[in-house]
Amino acid sequence: MSLLAWAFRNSGAAVARDWFEQRFDRARALLPLANFDTVIPIECAETVTVELTDVAGVADATPAAAVTGGAIAVDVGDAAITPSQGRLNLVGSGSHVGTLNAEYWYMAALVKYVGPTDGAQVAETGADAVALWSDDDNRVTIGVLGNVSGGSTTQFVGRVNNAGSNFTSLGPLLGGEPAPWHLFEAWFNVVANTVHFAIDGVEFAATIDGANLPAVAAKWGPIVQRSAIGDQATVQYEKATVIVTSPTVGGA
C-alpha cells in the first residue's frame, strides 16, 4: 500500500478524507513538478493525537465541543502573566519535511482565529494557523503576526523565520463577525525558489525568496503566543495537512 493510500485510509471519516484529497489535488496542481505522493493528515478533534508542548505562562488546548466534527481550541495568555505561549504538536511525529529550503512542500489548515482583534492587543499576539517548525527561530508560518517586526496588527501574515530574522508577506485583513473559518495554505516552489501563501484560495500578492528559508528539517507545529498581559489569544484548529514527496517523511 502506498503512503498516500495509508494516509487516506487512516484519516478518519469520509468527510475528512474528502478534505485531504482536495488538498492533495490542490498541491499537485500548484506544484506539478513535485510529484507529491505523501499526505500527512492531522485531525484536531481531540487531545490524544494532538498535544500542546513548549508551554510557557498560561496556555491550554481543549476540545471545542461546540464545533461540529471536532476541533481543538488553544487559549493563551491572561491579564496577569506574560509571556505565554504553546505549540501544537502531532503526538509521536518526527520531521515532516526533510529540508525546508531544498525540497517541495505544501501545508494547509482549516482554522478559526477568534481573537484578539483590537489593534493594541494584536500587537502583542502571534497566532500561527499552520506552520512548519524546526525551532522558534527557524520556521515557516501563516496566520496572525502582530508582535514582530514586519508583521501587522490589521492583516494576516505569511512569514519565513531564519535564525531569528523574519521575512514577511501581507495578506487579507483580519476580522469578521462572527469569526470565520479560513483555509490557510503555504508552499515552496523549488524551481522558482519562492515561498507562497494563500487564504481561502486567494494567493498573497508577494512571495518570499527561497534564499531566506532555513536549511533545516521541520514538522507541523503552529504556535500561539501572547507577549504582554491583556486579552487572551484564542485559535480553533479543525484539521491540517503537510504534503511532501517520499522518502523525506518521518525523519528525526
pLDDT at 148: 93
Characterize the bridge pairing of strands 125-135 and 105-115. Answer: unpaired
- Whether the pLDDT of residue 183 is over 90: the answer is yes
Q: What is the mean pLDDT of the chain?
A: 88
pLDDT band at 200 (very low <50, low <70, confident <90, very high): very high
To which residue does cell 523525506 refer? Answer: 248
Look up the CATH number of domain 40-244: 2.60.120.200
Decide which of 161 and 80 is more confident.
Answer: 161
To which residue does cell 513535485 refer? Answer: 34
Express each pLDDT in 108-137 by its tens digit: 999 999 999 999 999 999 999 999 999 999
Q: Which of 35-49, 59-73, 141-155, 176-190 is least confident?
A: 59-73
Q: What is the pTM of this model?
A: 0.89
- Whether the pLDDT of residue 9 is over 80: the answer is no
Closest C-alpha among 68, 71, 73, 105 to residue 220: 105
Angular region, 82: left φ>0, alpha ψ -120 to 50, beta rest: beta
Express each pLDDT in 205-241 by its tens digit: 999 999 999 999 999 999 999 999 989 999 999 999 9
Coil/strand/helix, residue 121: helix
- Whether the pLDDT of residue 248 is over 50: the answer is no
Q: Distance between CA 44 and CA 62 in Å, rounded?
A: 10
- Whether the pLDDT of residue 44 is over 90: the answer is no
How many beta carbons lie within 10 A of that of residue 27, not counting itself?
24
